[in-house]
Amino acid sequence: MFEQNFKNGIIEIRGQKIGLGESKLIKIPIDRLPTGTLIEIPVYIFNGDQLGPTILLQGGLHGDEVNSIELVRRMLIDKSYKIHRGCVIVVPLLNVFGFLNMSRDMHGKDVNRSFPGSKTGSLASRMAYYLMKEITNNVDFAIDFHTGGEQRNNFPQIRFTPEDEKGFQLASIFNAPFMFGSKLIPKSFRNQCYKNNIPVIVYEGGESLRLEEKAIQQGINGTLRVLKHFKMINKSIEIPKNTTSIHINKHKWVRAKVAGLFTSIVHNGEKVKKGQVLGHVMDTYGETNFSVKSPYNGYIIAKNNFPIINMGDALFHLGKP
């Protein structure tokens, strides 16, 4: 593993220095509401008394992904970040404006398509800029927590950059139920970190504007596995065991060939066979009933929970080992 040249001797954010054995909450000012109310991003820094890796744990890059926010928040409350070695930088909620508006975006712009950002650009661009400049430059690697969007529920899974061997190793340590390589998206956080040689793995679990307990627990357990692997937390901490993560080599969305009302007859995470009926799309008057079938053997790694479907809408994300 990549245990060398660790960055946690002294962490500096917004001109404040956090030495070995210190913890601090720093609030980074971003902007003001039209009413004049200041909007800040709380950043928690837990620096151990021994040298080790510095890891960023980040939730709420998309404001409506409340599952990711709750996951990180709960670990804070449970004092899971009692760090003995290395440093953990925690951002429970990055996209404050999106969260306030229950929106993925920030004033119509996706922060995760705004990197590397600019200190004189849009609000999303400025947030991306300060995230990279003030926080990410301190870290050795990061876990970015997300959920599915638009009522698409992602079964707990880890995504890594295929070209990044360190990211693959981190994903294996996290050991979510599923893991697979995901292409870099231009101007995304993961893409910018890859350019800066910072491995990032993305945890996906649940859907937007919903809390899902199983996805939260899987995310917490995976994070603790990573912290424990690097000897950052007490070795006596017990973490529920998972079966070895299923490595998905091929994945595609099964899309609706007709419009109508959609019902699923399989569960998220379920193993399915080629030709198996996964659900039905029916017209509102009961005159037609179109069966949605699996194109190959694999696993349901995400599903659409919205019942009103147009032709071409994504219904099931199917993964093949």
Domain borders along the chain are 11-230, 249-320
DSSP-derived secondary structure letter, 134:
I
Beta partners for residue 26, in sequence order: 43
- Residue 147 and residue 152: Cα distance in Å, rounded? 9
Average pLDDT value for residue range 68-80: 93
Question: pLDDT grade, residue 294 (50/70/90)?
Answer: very high
Predicted pLDDT of residue 1: 56
Average pLDDT value for residue range 269-293: 95
Flag whether pLDDT at 23 surpasses 70: yes
Flag whether pLDDT at 305 surpasses 90: yes
Report which of 163, 191, 215 is spatially closest to residue 59, judged by C-alpha positions: 215
Judging by DSSP bridges, how do beta strands 260-264 and 141-148 pair with one another? unpaired
Flag whether pLDDT at 287 surpasses 90: no
CATH class of 11-230: alpha beta
Report residue 90 as tokens. 């925690």
pLDDT digits (tens, 9 = 90+) for 179-234: 999 999 999 999 999 999 999 999 999 999 999 999 999 999 999 999 999 999 99
Flag whether pLDDT at 244 surpasses 70: yes
Question: For the structural domain made of 249-320, what CATH number should be given?
Answer: 2.40.50.100
Question: pLDDT grade, residue 140 (50/70/90)?
Answer: very high
Q: Is 249-320 in the same CATH topology as 11-230?
A: no
